[in-house]
Amino acid sequence: MVVELSGSVDMFKYVQELFEQAAMTALNAVPKTAFSKALGWGAEVRGITPIHRAAINVFARIYSINEHEVERKLNTYDTLNEFFTRRLRAGARITAEGDDIVTSPADGILTQIGTAEQTNLLQAKGLTYDLAALLGSDQDAQWFQDGSYVTIYLRPHDYHRVHSPVTGVVQQVRWIPGDRFPVVPMAVHRRENLYSRNERLVVILDTRMGRVAVIMVASIGVGNMSLTWDDHFRTGDRNHHVDSGRLQHLEGYRLTKGDELGVFHLGSTVIVLFEQARVAFQRMAPGARLFVGLPLAEVR
């Protein structure tokens, strides 16, 4: 009986492996930038409100969206993008108080938590990526060498707004164009240097615990990302007039812990970096469900 069960498990793993290989091959063949652009256009196009609302209703039912925590009734959103970037009602998320408490910047699934090995961060078992490549700067990477980090995956049905995990002043904003590979678990476990290859938006804060970096990583279907304190800036196809690299006109803004920082126009991944030995994480493991404002770490 044990032998049969073991054989069944091995066969399941083999079939799953074949399926994931085929899925990755198909995803690699998809023109991801063009697909994301088309999906982004379709999610925002006006004049087809009944179609958008029907899609929103189906999506909300499939994923059991909690309508009681959403700022508006679902039948008042005119486009899919309005729904995906929905705000929550006042009080739906409570930010943990205390200057020594770091809070979760997003709703999502904790995928990695730990300490960098010099400048290497863990993406998935057997796969690492480099801090300098992630941040787009060798100098910035030195600040976070051997530092702590956490990675949070925002699923498509999660709340898509990112909040500041600490109080601080925006020291740097860097937009780094890149690919739009999927960031679903299957891809994270198979695609090398995924987070440092995809388009991303890096925000570095000066805080009482040193520098803290919040990195928003784009994905297939995520046509652009935006920052809350600038109504005109959006990454990707909306900003051909903005050069990539450091965006000094967006710096100097003060964020209080819990303030909205940015928005994903569809879901993706947030990575938060801390300087060496500055924080002690709460007891939690990959797979944990996180919500904006819940305690994530304490200042040492």
Q: Which domain holds residue 133?
A: 101-299
Q: What pLDDT score was predicted for residue 1?
A: 44
Catalytic residues: 107, 163, 268
Same domain (yes/no): 221, 260: yes
Nearest CA-CA partner of 235 in 294, 176, 150, 192: 176
96 domain-assigned: no
251 domain-assigned: yes
Q: What pLDDT score was predicted for residue 31?
A: 58
155 domain-assigned: yes
Same domain (yes/no): 138, 194: yes
Same domain (yes/no): 68, 152: no
83 φψ region: left (φ > 0), alpha (ψ -120 to 50), beta (else)? alpha
Q: What pLDDT score was predicted for residue 25?
A: 55
What are the start-end ranges of the H helices in the chain?
2-29, 32-44, 49-62, 80-84, 131-135, 138-143, 185-188, 194-197
90 domain-assigned: no
Long-range pairs for 69-74: beta carbons < 8 A, 24 or more residues apart: none
Q: What pLDDT score was predicted for residue 101?
A: 97
Q: What pLDDT score was predicted for residue 231?
A: 83
What is the number of structural domains in the chain? 2
Same domain (yes/no): 118, 220: yes
Instruction: Encode burial over 34-55: b for 16+ CB neighbours within 10 A, e otherwise.
Output: eebbebbebbbeeeeeeebbeb
93 domain-assigned: no
Take residue 183 and report the two structure tokens written for it. 């960031």
Same domain (yes/no): 64, 146: no
Decide which of 21, 56, 84 is a domain's last residue: 84
Decide which of 34, 51, 84 is a domain's last residue: 84
Same domain (yes/no): 46, 158: no
Same domain (yes/no): 21, 151: no
The pTM for the full model equals 0.87
Judge contact between 161 and 260, C-beta under 8 A: yes
92 domain-assigned: no
Same domain (yes/no): 106, 195: yes
Same domain (yes/no): 144, 242: yes
Same domain (yes/no): 29, 116: no
| Ordered per-residue pLDDT tens for the chain, 300 residues | 444 555 554 554 444 444 445 445 555 556 556 666 666 666 777 778 888 899 899 989 999 999 999 999 999 999 988 999 999 999 999 999 999 999 999 999 999 999 999 999 999 988 999 999 999 999 999 999 999 999 999 998 999 999 999 999 999 999 998 888 888 888 888 889 999 999 999 999 999 999 999 999 998 876 689 999 998 888 865 554 455 688 898 999 999 999 999 999 877 899 999 999 999 999 999 999 999 999 999 998
Q: What pLDDT score was predicted for residue 3?
A: 47
Same domain (yes/no): 139, 113: yes
Decide which of 16, 49, 84 is a domain's last residue: 84
Same domain (yes/no): 113, 54: no
